[in-house]
């Protein structure tokens, strides 16, 4: 019998992070082949401030909280994957790296496409369509480029293990390596699908910016990111909840891109994903 779940996850270095409500588990395979699990109890700020649970607002809140727990998971997994005999990565170093990564992402996926579109000397809706298409091309090209890296390929295998495990549970099957291997590496609620929906939605949202000033356009794009994220989150939830031609069309581009961001995992990687999932879902 099929089961509904709100379990989400993230591939980390040599492991998988799973989140089910306030319960978070980060399972990592260490160099000595042992699987270590870190449990985190994460309460959402929306539990205290009710309006943050409202549609179109909850998406941004969820995105920020996922980013925070994701950074913690990556930091933990990096240190565990290194092993005790190696020097650990401290929080300060990881924070600086994260900030630099965000700034680079803004430069590559917001500033550069905007500048290249400006060169075309187009205006109005056509300007935003070209700007949006360039952003999508950059995003796909970036995924294609990093997928060639050995370490990223391994990360994408853990991403596949995460999806397969969730798919297996939601289908009602027992979580065993044999059962999990039968399922798809793609999942409707994947963050990759969310990002692609956001990129497409941004074309329409940014069309409301009427100024021709380059820096106003750039600033408005940054300010409107929460709006775009909020709309994208609601569309992702609809696409994951219902199964019809419209919802399939909403998530189809993201499901297609997941063929690039996931890889078939090996048995040991599936074991890690199962361990993480069972830690956050008590009935397993």
The pLDDT, as a whole number, for residue 28 is 96
**First-to-last CA distance in the chain?**
14
Whether 237 maps to a domain, the answer reads yes
Under the banding of pLDDT at 50, 70 and 90, the label for residue 108 is very high
The pLDDT, as a whole number, for residue 47 is 86
The pLDDT, as a whole number, for residue 199 is 94
Asked if residue 59 has pLDDT above 60, the reply is yes
**How many C-beta atoms lie closer than 10 Å to residue 37's C-beta?**
15
For residue range 193-234, what is the model confidence (pLDDT) as tens digits? Answer: 999 999 999 999 998 898 889 999 999 999 999 999 999 999
Task: Report the predicted TM-score, pTM, of the whole model to 2 decimal places.
Answer: 0.91
Residues 6+ apart with CB under 8 A from 58: 46, 52, 230, 233
- For 64, the domain range is 8-279
Whether 2 maps to a domain, the answer reads no
For residue range 153-162, what is the model confidence (pLDDT) as tens digits? Answer: 999 999 999 9
Compute, in degrees rounded to 10, the torsion defined by CA atoms 178, 184, 185, 188. Answer: -130
Whether 3 maps to a domain, the answer reads no
For 26, the 3-state DSSP assignment is: strand
Q: CA-to-CA distance for 211 and 190, rounded, in angstroms?
A: 35
Whether 59 maps to a domain, the answer reads yes
Query: How many domains are contained in the chain?
Result: 1
Whether 114 maps to a domain, the answer reads yes
For 33, the 3-state DSSP assignment is: coil
Asked if residue 89 has pLDDT above 90, the reply is no
Whether 227 maps to a domain, the answer reads yes
Under the banding of pLDDT at 50, 70 and 90, the label for residue 91 is low
Under the banding of pLDDT at 50, 70 and 90, the label for residue 20 is very high
The pLDDT, as a whole number, for residue 6 is 86
Whether 284 maps to a domain, the answer reads no
* Orientation angle between helical segments 191-205 and 225-241, nearest 10 degrees: 130
For residue range 117-134, what is the model confidence (pLDDT) as tens digits? Answer: 999 989 888 999 999 999
Whether 76 maps to a domain, the answer reads yes
The pLDDT, as a whole number, for residue 95 is 75
Q: What percent of the chain has pLDDT over 70?
A: 96
């Amino acid at each position: 019998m099929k089961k509904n779940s709100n379990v989400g996850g993230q591939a980390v270095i040599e492991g998988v992070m799973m989140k089910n409500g306030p319960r978070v588990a980060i399972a990592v395979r260490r160099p000595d082949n042992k699987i270590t699990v870190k449990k985190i109890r994460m309460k959402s700020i929306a539990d205290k401030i009710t309006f943050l649970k409202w549609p179109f607002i909850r998406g941004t809140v969820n995105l920020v909280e996922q980013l925070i727990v994701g950074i913690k998971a990556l930091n933990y997994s990096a240190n565990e994957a290194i092993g005790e005999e190696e020097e650990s990565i401290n929080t300060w170093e990881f924070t600086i790296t994260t900030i630099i990564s965000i700034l680079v992402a803004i430069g590559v996926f917001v500033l550069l496409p905007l500048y290249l579109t400006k060169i075309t000397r187009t205006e109005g809706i056509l300007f935003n369509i070209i700007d949006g298409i360039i952003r999508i091309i950059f995003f796909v090209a970036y995924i294609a480029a990093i997928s060639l890296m050995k370490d990223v390929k391994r990360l994408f295998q853990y991403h596949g293990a995460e999806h397969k495990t969730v798919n297996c549970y939601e289908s009602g099957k027992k979580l065993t390596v044999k059962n999990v291997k039968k399922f798809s590496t793609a999942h409707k609620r994947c963050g990759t699908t969310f990002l692609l929906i956001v990129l497409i939605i941004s074309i329409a949202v940014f069309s409301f910016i009427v100024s021709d000033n380059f820096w106003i356009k750039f600033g408005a794009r940054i300010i409107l990111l929460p709006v775009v994220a909020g709309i994208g989150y609601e569309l992702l939830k609809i696409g994951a909840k219902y199964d019809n031609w419209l919802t399939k069309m909403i998530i189809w581009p993201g499901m297609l891109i997941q063929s690039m961001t996931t890889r078939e995992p090996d048995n040991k990687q599936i074991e890690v994903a199962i361990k993480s999932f069972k830690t956050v879902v008590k009935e397993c």
